[in-house]
């Protein structure tokens, strides 16, 4: 039963992330969401039309949207730390030579 509830919770988080992107007027895709099992905050990556991804956090009520960082580049793959206090993600800088 616990696994079933966990999967339902993950589905609802994914659905709410897409809905939040639509309601807040994000042009592009909201994807790569993550949440801790006890968290009331969702972290997700948004891909706008210019492909400069950004990481955002929003609470499960759909309030308090915050962008994480302000780098020029593609911020992707948000993942909560095991204690649920920090978010790790990777950055591909588009303004730096490779």
- Per-residue confidence of the chain (98 residues) as pLDDT tens digits? 566 766 776 666 666 666 666 565 555 555 556 666 666 788 887 766 566 678 888 887 778 888 887 767 777 778 888 887 888 888 877 666 55
The closest of 78, 80, 81, 71 to 46, measured between CA atoms, is 78
DSSP, residue by residue, 29-60: EEEEEE--TT-SEEEEEEEETT---EEEEEET
> Which pLDDT belongs to residue 51?
61
Domains of the chain: which residue ranges?
Answer: 2-93
The closest of 24, 17, 38, 20 to 80, measured between CA atoms, is 38
């Amino acid at each position: 039963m616990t696994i079933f509830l966990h999967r339902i919770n993950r589905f609802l988080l994914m659905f709410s992330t897409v809905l939040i992107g639509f309601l807040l007027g994000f042009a592009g895709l909201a994807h790569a969401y993550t949440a801790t099992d006890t968290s009331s905050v969702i972290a997700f990556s948004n891909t706008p039309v210019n492909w400069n991804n950004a990481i955002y956090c929003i609470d499960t009520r759909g309030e308090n949207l915050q962008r994480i960082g302000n780098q020029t580049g593609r911020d992707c793959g948000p993942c909560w730390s095991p204690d649920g206090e920090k978010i790790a993600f990777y950055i591909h800088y588009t303004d730096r030579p490779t």
